[in-house]
Structure 1
Amino acid sequence: MNNLIERQRGLHEEIERLEQAIVDQFMEDLKTHRDRLRNEHIVDRFLTRISDKSNNLYDMYEDKDGLRQSEIEALSASTEFSEFYERLRVIKDHHRKYPNEPVEPPEMEFIHMNLTSGGDAEDGEEDELEKKFSGEESYGRYLDMNALHGKYINLKDVKKLEYLQYLSEFDDFANAYPKQMKTSPDYKQYLNDLSEYLYSFFRRARPLFDLAELEEKAQKEMDEKWESGQIAGWEDIGNEMLDPELYCNACQKQFSKKTVYDAHLTGKKHRKNAEKLKQEQTTEETNGHSDTKQDRRKELAWKELLIAKYAEGLSDIREETKANVERKQALTDKERTLEQDQEEIDLAEQESDDEDEDRIYNPLKLPLGWDGKPIPYWLYKLHGLGVEYPCEICGNYVYMGRKAFDKHFQEWRHAHGMRCLGIPNTRHFHEITKIDDAFALYGKLKKENAQEDFVPDSMEEYEDDEGNVFNRKTYEDLRRQGII
């Protein structure tokens, strides 16, 4: 229904239900790290939906196209009754056109969400959470920077640090990274990979952390410290930028004298860099962002500062990672294998404990209904589910209730038993459960059918040259003896 006010009301209702769903998630008593992490991801999904719905509501209340105001005027004007009946007619026409269209109440969606997002989450959601992390990260408990450590080792002129030492110094850009290699493309790519990994880890391990606020504070700090040259590793940039006449933007280099600056302008390297810079500026102007990358060094400094802020926010996980790496380095291969096996055993015990907590009290061992709970006892007696019907042909399998017993004669277990006996599973053998009874009935049916079957030796007729008629067996015996 194209009704703006009704859509606004629906959005308000959905936001309230999402807020209640978030409260329900936080009210759960979760004991394990994995359950808490899954709960945070669910809440993060709810918050994203609330943000989207709120933006839609804001646009509706802004009413830039005037549709909301015109609708309110139509409902409050003198023609309000005609407007009401017109909308009622539209609703009736819709239901007349689609008479059997199923409608699910809005609250059912959040009931399903709570059923699949609590402690008894479905396997699909469990697998999705497991795919987000590597084995080394252990559901967001530790950092896995082995690949980044390999990229760091391959950088030119850097100190060859061990992995444990690298975890302590990867954000020390003033000392761990030589200044002469910071203009290389490999270093820029390394910074991009490092910042992307830390951002991704934040989103996966701490989905409710406000990264936007962290980046906003880092941007303010960057703007304040860049011009004054207080960024770690770039302290002399502020003084260099005070004399733009001696700075070459193409080569990203500051010169101390005018004569040296003028001499380098005629060099082959400068002309190549200038041509490359011109091409980049042309491309950026074509794409509509010509002034976003004026200074490459400032971009590198921003990446370094952002990585340092990420590392500061992950300081506790970083320390736990260092302790875990140091502990694993002291283990032998056999001890690592035993530890991994023990983790799997603990996980299995945890899952079994969860199952025990959710076990339903059912002393009479009544069958479970559609809701997973035992059916009422009167219904159990009404259907005769307490009566046992054993079947010897099915391997003495016991069927509970007459309905299950009647149905089993056409099911795979009984058909397989009849096939093993060499007896066709026809309607004649319905209600037959004993093997001896089945063989006796099968023999009787074979005798009755034998009289009706065509036997060539006794029923096929032959005639000799004199016109005498014999059956097949007699005719062949006389012919072999030479009588005919």
Structure 2
Amino acid sequence: MSILESERYALEDLDRLEKAIADRFLEPPRTHRDRISQEQEIASFLDRIQHQSKYLLDSFEDAQEERAPEIVTLQGGETANQFDEFYKQLKSIKDFHRRYPNQPVENLEENYRKKRKTDDDSPDLDLIDTMFTGEEALGKYLDLIAFHERYLNLRGTTHVQYVQYLDIFDKFEQMSKTPKDDEYFKYTSDLSAYLEGFLKRSQPLSDPEGTIAKIEQSFNEEWENKFKQNGTGVNHEQNGPNGDGIYCDACEKMFEKQTVYDGHLSGKKHKKNIELKEKAGANGASALAANLKARAISLREFEIRKLAEILGKAREETKINVERKSALTLRERQLEMEALEREELGGDEDGGGGDQEDDGKVYNPLKLPIGWDGKPIPFWLWKLHGLGVEYPCEICGNFVYMGRKAFDKHFMEARHVHGLRCLGIQNSALFREITSIQDALALWDKIKKERRAQESMREQAVEVEDDEGNVMSEKVYNDLKKQGLL
């Protein structure tokens, strides 16, 4: 392909890419999957535009001096007629198609056609599914489970639950007892790389590369302003970019207060570590390596802090999701996954999505509960909340409650409280989850016996003495006194 033809193809490709991006933006996404798929597709189009634009700029500059001779050739040279060259190339094209009549023609429109969910050969849906882990839920939540385990295996860290780790993974001042060794560097490097990758995958149109470049530039400026080099050639004292304590590189230890750090400098262990580090290096090689190591670790910590701020919303939603899932049973989790799959597939395929007939009557063949909008709730929501499960209560007159939520709520409602009073039982939190009359009466008898035993013990605990020195309980003493026997 000639240079001019390649340029024409690139310009045509740019027009098609602009139209494809406009078509994507004209149709708002209905689900979270649609939004991620749309943004990833647009991001790939933008990368393609940058690639084609760079090619065109380089081609127009004609550094290889190949474009100008081709233009002269198309013009027919200095003496020949320009139409001769035109018909010469036209004859060459016709001869090619005559030799290869069945040669397939590339469909440029098909390359950027919007993929539909009904397409069997659509690669985008599979790409989105493989781009995120199951815990990330298509970019909704962070998946830091593996990093939580690595954090617990670091020296000097305390055991925390996963929910607590989501709060502190970017608070390195709490890791003052953790040595800044190779294992720590690998941990911070991998965590920073994961957060960068998650930002690119979940927010591809937010210019993640530019954001990361700004973070590195900001770190370089703060490093030059706040890091000081002492006279030994080793960076023994360094205040992190965010002022998170004082770090002694010779001892690989962080100090929270200046007074503690000053007292540490006169210690024998510190002086010995300085001598060892100075002897280990040749011509300042050890000092340079120490500074480079400290700078690399501080850069990773700085990136993690900034990326955690940018991903603050996903972080909070991850905490809420982890706390919510911890309260679900295995069956409830399975139902939730099925419901999310139906939602992502888009619709009310499972029946009774609230369609109305022409006569205005609500179409509800599954007898689903009516929502706030006057239409039956979706079937997946009905299954998610377990509204099809019956919970009878004998105390309430064999009334049946639909769904676990309504069942848990009814224990404090008037119907259940009245039923307990009819049985002579005072309502208490101890009777929660009890729906059988026999069980309730048995528990109430047990409670009454325990109360009487406690009262008897309290009465027997107080002892008195009569005039003759006889010791007895207060109850016996009062009875004898009333009878005039004392």
Match of 1:427 in 2: none
Q: Could you give the per-residue CA deviations for residues 41-93 of structure 1, whole angstroms, max 9, x where no partner exists? A: 11111111111111111110121122223334455586375455235424423
Q: What are the within-5 Å matches in structure 2 for residues 31-430 of structure 1?
A: 31-75=30-74, 79=78, 81-82=80-81, 84-86=83-85, 88-99=87-98, 100-101=100-101, 108-115=107-114, 117-122=115-120, 124-173=123-172, 175-178=173-176, 181-229=178-226, 238-239=227-228, 241-243=229-231, 245=233, 247=235, 253=250, 267=276, 295-347=292-344, 350=347, 352=349
**Matched residues in 2 for 1:261 and 1:325: separation?**
44
**Matched residues in 1 for 2:334 and 2:74: separation?**
73
Amino acid at match of 1:335: E
Deviation at 1:296, TM superposition (A): 1.3
Instruction: Name the CA shift for 1:121/1:296 in 2 (closer, same or farther; >3 Å).
Output: farther
Q: Tell whether the 8 Å contact from 2:156 to 2:179 is kept in structure 1 after alignment.
A: no
Deviation at 1:95, TM superposition (A): 3.4
Deviation at 1:274, TM superposition (A): 5.7
**Matched residues in 2 for 1:246 and 1:29: separation?**
57
1:25 is aligned to 2:13: no
3-state SS of 1:141 partner:
coil
Amino acid at match of 2:152: I
Unaligned runs of 5+ in 2: 238-247, 252-263, 354-486
- Quote the sequence identity (%): 30
Instruction: Name the CA shift for 1:14/1:118 in 2 (closer, same or farther; >3 Å).
Output: same
Deviation at 1:121, TM superposition (A): 4.6
Q: Tell whether the 8 Å contact from 1:39 to 1:118 is kept in structure 2 after alignment.
A: no
Deviation at 1:256, TM superposition (A): 6.0
Amino acid at match of 2:250: K
Q: Could you give the per-residue CA deviations for residues 184-230 of structure 1, whole angstroms, max 9, x where no partner exists? A: 1111110121112112212222222211221222122112211232x
Q: Could you give the per-residue CA deviations for residues 385-440 of structure 1, whole angstroms, max 9, x where no partner exists? A: xxxxxxxxxxxxxxxxxxxxxxxxxxxxxxxxxxxxxxxxxxxxxxxxxxxxxxxx
Q: Tell whether the 8 Å contact from 1:141 to 1:317 is kept in structure 2 after alignment.
A: yes
Instruction: Name the CA shift for 1:275/1:227 in 2 (closer, same or farther; >3 Å).
Output: closer
RMSD, aligned α-carbons: 3.7
Match of 1:463 in 2: none
**Matched residues in 2 for 1:93 and 1:263: separation?**
83
Q: Tell whether the 8 Å contact from 2:142 to 2:315 is kept in structure 1 after alignment.
A: yes
Unaligned runs of 5+ in 1: 230-237, 282-292, 357-484
Q: Which has the larger radius of gyration?
A: 1
TM-score, length of structure 2 as denominator length: 0.59
**Matched residues in 1 for 2:343 and 2:69: separation?**
64
Aligned residues: 326
Q: Tell whether the 8 Å contact from 2:163 to 2:319 is kept in structure 1 after alignment.
A: yes
**Matched residues in 2 for 1:12 and 1:274: separation?**
58
Deviation at 1:168, TM superposition (A): 1.3
Amino acid at match of 2:150: K
**Matched residues in 2 for 1:277 and 1:349: separation?**
62
TM-score, length of structure 1 as denominator length: 0.59
Match of 1:372 in 2: none
